[in-house]
Structure 1
Amino acid sequence: MRKIYLDNAATTQIRGEVIAKMQEALADCFGNPSSTHAFGRSAKTQIEQARKVIAKILNAHPSEIVFTSGGTEADNMILRSAVKDLGVKTIITSKIEHHAVLHTVESLKEEFGILIKYVHLDAHGNPDLEHLKELLSKDDSKKLVSLMHVNNEIGNLIDMDTIGLMCREYNALFHSDAVQSIGHFPWDVQKTPIDFMAAAAHKFHGPKGVGFAYIRKEHPISPLIIGGSQERGSRAGTEALHNIVGLSEALTAAYENLEEEKAYIQGLKRYFIEILEAKIPSSKFNGYSGDMTKSTYTLVNVCLNVSEEQALMLLFHLDLKGIACSKGSACQSGATGGSHVLNEILSEEELKKPSLRFSFSKYNTKEELDYVIEVLNEFCS
């Protein structure tokens, strides 16, 4: 049976050179980075070198990079500390953010009584900037805006520069869950007016279980995890050196090969859209995912015109055919309420039909996409 992996928005295959670098770290650099002897100093040096590499890629200062277990922890650290340490009283977000943001702000509302304001969305899921401006100007409370650069389910891109400048105009902090963005789009935090970002290595061909928070140095925050003084006091716990080294190597490779790999993956997405529209014209792209300029080049989200009975069997059928993709996001698997993102933008009739997210990487081919469309066409006929 063929095996075709089109769930790269959930996690990506680790690059061979990243694995090699991690193996080297595991074998040769096993000292505790907090130890003062030579073994510890060697490990600490590798961590600080990785921090400098990441900071240079983002045009940040190394002290602004805090290693975490991934994007969820980074989001939690930033949002909770913004309320506790920076006096944020109002968080403005959208109803289609990742649950790492939505559930955190709901928790903060219960704990600290903060206000949560949800910006209106257009029919495709993008934030209404006029409404955002209205929310920012409404009162004098300390505000934080949290909007993701690339939506993990429908791939919509938001205008980071415009939103960032709007936040500066109203003296609000700006945070973005950039988990689907970093490693796929160029970043310069000196040019983009942003205060906080979250990233995860496994979204750009690095290891799972490691990511980082970007925290602009003007906004020092307290740690989410308490204990030792690791990460310059920002996050307690012995650092996972092999994962940090893997993250650094993966991010370096992502940006060294960005233009070439982006062009290749864009070609795959464009091809997928063309053959899907030709072979299954009754299908529909959700959000802006079918638009090459308004969405990320790494994914599409497709609504198929089949019956509710057929819909129940679709993912099972694809799995039997060796095709891996997602119904909504991987984080939603097993959830009975369906995708909270699609619930916001689709009609009741459209929600009865199955929607699938196909996400691409450098390891996919057009021949694989031909096979996927053939299987979908057969199922929909």
Structure 2
Amino acid sequence: MANIVGGIAVSHGPLLCTPPSIWHLRAGADQKNVNHWYQGRRHNYDELLAARAPGFGMAVQAAHQARAYAQCQSSLDQLADKFKAMRADWVIVVGNDQREVFHDDMSPALLVYTGESIPNIPLTPAQLAKLPPGIAEAEVGHCPPEGAVYPGHAAQATRIVESLSDAGFDVATSARLPSTADGQHGIPHAFGFVYRRILNDAPPPSVPVFVNVGVAPNQVRTGRALGFGAALARAVRDLPDASRVVLIASGGLSHFVVDESLDQKVLQALSPFDAASLQSIPESWFNGNSGEIKSWMAVAAAMNEAGLRIDMRDYTPCYRTPAGTGSGMGFVAWSLSV
């Protein structure tokens, strides 16, 4: 029987990979964006600013942003240290794709990567030039300039797929990442950030698990995410060896409109684990990038199934405009030792 010995949930937004001195690049894009989702409703920037009056003027001052950035880097360092102490034999990374790898010819709701290797391939100059302002500058936080190839774990991935299928989860599989002329040719940024920042570009073998949290119309709903996480924990438990396994969720919390009330509701529901509270959040609140919270839900349900408890829970909202755009940054670790 394999043993889940730890878990991590971590945000991966571009503000974690860029100094506050250039956060204004994303702020400018926010002011032009007409699709800001906040508590189930879509707003343009002016509407969002009015809805959130008096706004967040203090939070976008340089000194405040610098403190928030420093707090986030400290939390990331702590998670990296905690992962090292978990002594994982292999890892499952749960994340999403934002039309980086999978496109409209294939949008799997749930997919387990079964390849022997995991390429992290730098974007070309032409691809970088097409990215929105402030995103290209963050790419170094997702992929080393020279690229990398990380070890997969095909044998364990295949066994997990079989177990999930037995449990009623008809997951897609892929032994290689799709490669299209206009798409990314390696693992997308939700996973690349984890390999770079938490696993220090030297990960043990890993199994990437893709959960579609944001691409309509087949986004995984909350109940399905929770059930999938519990089934994933049982699949690990049923493996025949005695390996040490860590699960990592990448993404979230609320963004690109910070909603501290939503983030706190999610964080409070993690310990003690409260599935009913998570399921009470309207699905419409997960429109936009806040849907990445569902990757957290899957790993939290797995931790509950495995009997682990939280031993670190940090939260830092990072604002970049007075209307409250930015990212709610969360950093959580589960341990057997609590």
Query: When you count strand as a share of all residues, which structure comes out higher?
Result: 2
Q: Greater relative contact order: 1 or 2 (C-alpha under 8 angstroms, separation 6 or more)? A: 2
TM-score (norm 2): 0.30
Query: When you count helix as a share of all residues, which structure comes out higher?
Result: 1
